Structures are given as C-alpha cells and as structure tokens.
Amino acid sequence: MRRLLSSIGSRLVIAVPYLWLFVFFLVPFFIVFKISLSQTAIAMPPYLPVFDLEGGVSGFLENLRALSLENYLWLAGDPLYVNAYLSSLFIAGVSTFLTLLVGYPLAYGMARAPENLRPVLLMLVILPFWTSFLIRVYAWIGILKPEGLLNQFLLFLGVIDEPLIILNTTTAIYIGIVYSYLPFMVLPLYASLEKMDYSLIEAAEDLGCTPLSAFWKITFPLSRAGIVAGCMLVFIPAVGEFVIPDLLGGPRTLMIGKTLWNEFFSNRDWPVSSAVAIVLLLILVLPIVYFQRAQARAREEG
C-alpha cells in the first residue's frame, strides 16, 4: 500500500509540469493557431469563427472547409514580413554576441573574486531587476538623445564637436538589449566559471601554456555550457523584443515584435498577426531544442 501511494505521488509530481504546459502553452497555442487559419471580419472579435461547435456537426464541418493557409502564404509572399523576421534574427544575433563579449569578462571577474566579495557582486548584477524594465529603457532615452547625458559628457571632454545621433538608430537597440539582458548572460556564465577547478589553469601554465592559451584550451571549453545557456536566454527573447525597438529604435525599426503589434492593434488583423506569432514560435523552436539538449549534455558531463 505504501509503495502504491508512493508511485501515485511520484506520478502526480511529474504530471504537474505537464499539466502546466498543457494549460498555459498548448491551449493558448491552439487558440492562436485556430485564429491564424481564419479570415478577418468586421466583428468582435475581428475574425470568422473556426472550430465552432455551436452549429453542431454540420456547422463544425462547414467551418473546417473554411480553414485556409492563406495567411501563411501571405507572410511568405510579402517582403515586409520576411525582412522583419530576418532583421529580428540579425539584430538578436548581434546583440547576443555583444552581450557575450561584455558578460564573459564580467562573469569571469566575479568567479575569480574573493569568496566574501562574490555575493555583493552577484547582488549588483541582479539589482537592475528591482526596477521596472520599462523605466530602465526610458532612462536610456535620456542618456542617448542628442541633448542627453552621454553627448553632454563627450562634449565636456572634447571628444566630439557636435552631438551624436544615437537615439532612434539600430545602435540604440543594441545598447538597450545588451544592457537589459546582460544579467541573463552573466548568471549562467558565473555558475559555470564559479565551479571550475582553477588548479587546471595553474597546471597548464606550469607545462608551458601562456595565460591566453590556457584560457582557450581550458577555461573556455569548460564554460561552454554557460555560454550556450546565456546565449539562448538572450537570443530567444531578443528576437521577439518590442519595447526596446519601439522606444529606442524609432518608427523606422523593422522587427517582428513591432510588426506583430501593428497587425494586432493598429490594423486589427488578428488572423495575420496570429500567423506571424505561430511562425515566430516555429523559428524559435530550433534554438529552444538546442538549448535543452545542451543543458541535458551539461548535466550528464557534470
């Protein structure tokens, strides 16, 4: 009896995350996918009903015949959406690389710092999360605008003769994404570097390796799991980012998050916006699967 209860309890514990995924992922995904197969209508909500059971079997079959992949064909044939996807992937990729360049030395320095100082450094990395994300992005407008703090400081130092135009450019988007997602890069890297055996570095240097060579042969490979985790945690949300491109990039910025917002709220074309969201999710499935496999491989090696 005790074994039976233990078996039932373990299965219930395993079932909870699957139930969570079903309710909060699969069900919303099906609803969005259903809308993406519909057509726009002047109604509330603004699309024709599909998979509607109110009309009985005949109404359900009629709705099935009305299903169409027209919205997906529209996305594939319209350069606006194709360029928005490509631009989002490119900006997210460059931002992830820049975040890695900034975050890796920071995480390495935290991991090599004295043990009594590491909690303070870790708190400083997490500290920005105590402030609203929107407020932090708005703050960069005051820093990057022509009469902002950055230009005033550079003019004071004599580095520039006239204000730089950074706001409403792609450069401002890179700055905003790197700043906002830097903790997501630093924390996995710090977790990998902090548990590394640094006696391996000393052994490599005793055998004739230079510090740079020892870094590339020992430190970098051992921190690969943290690199993959940090890059995925930055890249995946950066692809669909809306707030940073909208506030810092200006109206000319072409990213899929802004395109999705415009279709949903400005054009009120829910079927097309749902198709945009479904395609975006399918694009991000590959890095998500790669991230999960990298995590599983790291756990096996650990």
Per residue in 196-229, pLDDT (tens digit) is: 887 888 788 777 788 888 888 888 888 888 998 8
Residues 6+ apart with CB under 8 A from 35: 47, 50, 270, 271, 274
User: Is the pLDDT confidence value at 115 over 70?
Assistant: yes
Task: Say which range, 2-16, 23-37, 169-183, 200-214, has the weakest mean pLDDT.
Answer: 2-16
> What is the pLDDT, as a whole number, of residue 141?
92
- This prediction has a pTM of 0.85
pLDDT band at residue 76 using 50, 70 and 90 as cut-offs: confident
User: Is the pLDDT confidence value at 301 over 70?
Assistant: no
Q: Cβ distance 192 to 103 under 8 Å?
A: no
pLDDT band at residue 86 using 50, 70 and 90 as cut-offs: very high
Structure tokens at 142: 């005051």
Euclidean distance between CA atoms 272 and 46, whole angstroms: 11
pLDDT band at residue 103 using 50, 70 and 90 as cut-offs: very high
| Top mean-pLDDT range of 2-6, 30-34, 121-125 | 121-125
Euclidean distance between CA atoms 158 and 154, whole angstroms: 6
Structure tokens at 30: 């099906």
Euclidean distance between CA atoms 132 and 168, whole angstroms: 21
> For residue 279, what is the DSSP state?
H
Long-range contacts of 84-89 (CB under 8 A, 24+ apart): 84/254, 84/255, 84/256, 84/258, 84/259, 85/256, 85/279, 85/280, 85/283, 87/254, 87/255, 87/256, 88/239, 88/240, 88/241, 88/255, 88/256, 88/257, 89/239, 89/283
pLDDT band at residue 53 using 50, 70 and 90 as cut-offs: low
pLDDT band at residue 14 using 50, 70 and 90 as cut-offs: confident
Nearest-CA neighbor of 268 among 41, 48, 15, 87? 41
Which burial class, exposed, middle or buried, applies to 172 when counting CB atoms under 10 A from its CB (0-12, 13-18, 19+)?
Answer: buried
User: Is the pLDDT confidence value at 177 over 90?
Assistant: yes
> What is the pLDDT, as a whole number, of residue 54?
60
User: Is the pLDDT confidence value at 88 over 90?
Assistant: yes
User: Is the pLDDT confidence value at 118 over 80?
Assistant: yes
Q: Determine the average pLDDT of the residues in 33-55.
A: 75
> What is the pLDDT, as a whole number, of residue 61?
59
Euclidean distance between CA atoms 25 and 13, whole angstroms: 19
pLDDT band at residue 5 using 50, 70 and 90 as cut-offs: low
User: Is the pLDDT confidence value at 192 over 80?
Assistant: yes
Q: Check residues 205 and 80 and name the one with the higher pLDDT.
A: 80
> What is the pLDDT, as a whole number, of residue 230?
93
